[in-house]
Structure 1
């Protein structure tokens, strides 16, 4: 069954106190993934020579 075939589409109910711990973990992991991709892109740019290396003026 597709989501739009459900009887209560699109008026879903949610239990925020039940979801909050999981959402907090997902948000933390999302931030970690973003930080790692940002660090990797900075490192790759520094290797390419287009940008100054980290810590250099």
Structure 2
């Protein structure tokens, strides 16, 4: 149970970092998607390690 006090702040930091990249992607006019961008879209950044920011 003591490890829970260490895991919880780490989880909050990860969520906060991912939210900032999502907002930055939206400001660029893009959207976050898992994997890669499909044909008519182009990658313009990253939202997280597994999500790519795509723009039409």
TM-score by length of 2: 0.49
> Greater share of helix residues, 1 or 2?
1
Structure whose CA Rg is larger:
1
- Which gives a bigger RCO, structure 1 or 2 (Cα 8 Å, sep 6+)? 2
> Greater share of strand residues, 1 or 2?
2
TM-score by length of 1: 0.48
